[in-house]
Amino acid sequence: MDASPLYFDYAATTPVDDVVIEAMLGCLGRQGLFGNPASKGHVFGSDAHHAVEQARQQVAELVGTQPQQLIWTSGATESNNLALLGVAHRRGKGHLITSCLEHRAVLDTAAQLEAEGFAVTYLTPNEHGLITPEAVAQAWRDDTCLVSLMLVNNELGTLTDIARIGTQVRARGALFHVDAAQATGKVAIDLARLDVDLMSFSAHKTYGPKGIGALYVGLHAEGALQAQIHGGGHEQGLRSGTLATHQIVGMGTAFALAGQAMVRENERLTLLRERFLAGVQSLPGTRLNGCGRQRIPHTLNLTFATPLDTAGLQRQLAFSTTSACSSAKAAPSHVLLGLGLTADQAARSYRFSLGRYTTEQDVDRAIALIHAHQAKPAPFWA
């Protein structure tokens, strides 16, 4: 049997696609597009600027918007911060709605706004682990100015009905922000048809490089954001700083590839997900967390009756005992606690995420490893 470790942690980060690496290398070194994209007065800068704008077009095409509505950032964390802080600081006061299932980039930013005097409501999921339009409606206040919810949950893989929620938010006159870091290349997104005002993206969840992302700013959100990074007025005055051409080109290339492969990749991974789930659920007491139907095929979160021997298993199989955003804290997952799991159940829960390079053989080997590394209960005399 192959002894090389298996990678089942695609939700934490994806490897950069070889085609993306090649495109990025073309932007480095004196033979590449090394010029400053803002220096459009000479050929070095104008060539880099053209590459940046081509990448902006590629990202826009995947998510159904116009390229001028995209602002480059360092990743989804910065995009989330710019969306929440930008709206709140422009308004100066008001009420925000989010959920207890969000990424820390949203929850910690919401907590900062609470410390500044803003009111925040944290929605809890229904019995299927979903945030519903009804929950948003019940939390509404006259001064609600922003709703922020993720499209795909990073720990569970569940989907939020942003179409229905967006219609409701738009009708009430507030802005709707969606964290789509885990969604690009997995879920069809058409911002031209969605009542979404702000949407956050990240390259490294979609086989692009780390350190680059974007924020979609829709027509209803124009003029509603206050910049959080100052110094030159780049990106329509919303995000200053010299643009990293190689990373931006990498993101554009990655998003273009994702759009080409999404349908067949989802079909392939659905089969692998079912194979993996059947194999691990043969262990008595294994339970899937989150809705079994309203989800992407890539990500599964499972609670086991007895804990896995993670120290031994992770030497052969890369997976998450908690989400990457929470791993710095030795605490139970806030998402799983939000679902109603106890701290003990959360400690016996693990995220397995499949991706572009996962094979049927990988799935079968992973199942065997999980079975072999299930911790044995202590003897009754211990």
209 sits in which H/E element: none
In angstroms, the CA 152 to CA 216 distance is 17
Q: Are 267 and 256 in contact (CB under 8 A)?
A: no
Pairing of strands 119-123, 144-150: unpaired
Helix (H, G, I), strand (E, B) or coil at 179: strand
CB neighbours of 21 closer than 8 A, spacing ≥ 6? 250
CB neighbours of 49 closer than 8 A, spacing ≥ 6? 37, 38, 40
291 noted as active-site residue = no
Phi-psi region of 235 (alpha: psi -120 to 50; beta: other; left: phi over 0): left
Q: Are 70 and 59 in contact (CB under 8 A)?
A: yes
Helix (H, G, I), strand (E, B) or coil at 134: helix
| Options 27, 145, 291, 325, the catalytic residue | 325
In angstroms, the CA 118 to CA 88 distance is 8
- State the catalytic residues: 325
